[in-house]
Amino acid sequence: MNDHHSPAAAPSDPISSAVARLAGAAATGTPCAPVRELIGSTDLDAAYEVQRRLAEARSATGARVAGAKIGLTAPVVQQQFGVFQPDFGVLFDDMVYAHTQPLPLGRFLQPRAEGEIAFVLGRDIVRPGAGVADVLRATEFVLPAIEIVDSRIAGWDLSITDTVADNASSGAVVLGTTPYALTGRDLARVGMTLQRDGEPVAFGAGHACLGSPVVAVAWLARELIARGRPLREGDVVMSGALGPMVPVTGPGRFRLALDGLGEVEAVIDAAAETAGKEKTQ
């Protein structure tokens, strides 16, 4: 595979080399070799440093942080990759789409769709050791959401460090437009059906997401507090897949229905203008 080293990335600096490789893949639209070849397959701190540098570069070009996403929560997704622990990435404003707003197929390299519940926070979560009560108090409302996950790593050949470095294999998110309060709702019991062009292609439930999406967001809150960048008021948090990922093989419509939480539709459009593949990084 092509190895996108920049002239400034010395071979003795594996983190810089990994940053250059992933940035090159995003910029050219050509998937790259796994970065575990550079940073190893177990060093999460190195992987999150790669992610941080790539996110910093995006922020420097004007992208605004809109929240965070959790990956690898559902057992069926963990089994798809052989990675058995969750991770997280950064959501940027130009990754967030609304119900039925066309998503340009050309901005993605190897897209897949999954159904989730998005949390929108009404207050910061900053207390060390934050738990489910903190998440419930901080959540202003939830929305049905479809995540279009993507990978800059060729063939989705991932270890945990590959997906972490690659911003938790992020692509874009599509949010529903009707907010739902959490009061009296057991998100663990929410059933999910994901359709493509009217045909059911994936099923799942809230309990697949670390027992409950609320538990997943509490895990994320603690991780981000520990890393000095806690969740803030207004953040959108994608809480993790409720069922298996489905390949996006071309233009089409994905519709997610969540029991008691409405529906959302992602429109994958080959004709929509692409703002640049690097925006999925």
Under the banding of pLDDT at 50, 70 and 90, the label for residue 274 is low
Pairing of strands 139-149, 96-98: unpaired
d(CA 14, CA 148): 29
Q: Which residues of 23-36 are buried (b: 16+ CB within 10 A; e: fewer)?
A: bbbbeebebbbbbb
Residue-wise pLDDT tens digits, 40-97: 998 999 999 999 999 999 999 999 999 999 987 777 776 766 766 789 999 999 999 9
Span 239-249, average pLDDT: 93
Amino acid, single-letter form, for residue 31 = P
Architecture of domain 65-280: Alpha-Beta Complex (3.90)
pLDDT of residue 278: 41
Residue-wise pLDDT tens digits, 137-196: 999 999 999 999 999 999 999 889 999 999 999 999 999 999 999 999 999 999 999 999
Higher-confidence position of 278 and 162: 162
Q: Report the predicted TM-score, pTM, of the whole model to 2 decimal places.
A: 0.90
d(CA 244, CA 194): 10
Over 90: is that where the pLDDT of 12 sits? Answer: no
